[in-house]
Amino acid sequence: MITKDMIIEEVMRQHPETIAVFKSFGLDCNECQIAAFEEVGHGAGVHAVDVEALLTELNRAIGAA
């Protein structure tokens, strides 16, 4: 299960299917160097993305929802 405290790059590396989800929320995390250090929750907040909606879709993409 993906949580808001997880590092974005780790999520994408372990679950490449999440890249499309991040992009659908306007987050091009796979092209961002900050992704190696930034938590999902922080990245969502910085970009004014609803973190709960993002987490729902990320977990759905990996079959954990």
In the prediction, which pLDDT does 45 show? Answer: 95
How many angstroms from the chain centroid is the CA of residue 26?
11
pLDDT digits (tens, 9 = 90+) for 24-59: 999 998 888 999 999 999 999 999 999 999 999 999
C-alpha span between 44 and 30 (Å, rounded): 14
pLDDT digits (tens, 9 = 90+) for 4-17: 999 999 999 999 99
Nearest Cα neighbor of 27 from 7, 42, 49 is 49
In the prediction, which pLDDT does 47 show? Answer: 95
Helices (H), 1-65: 8-14, 18-24, 40-46, 51-61
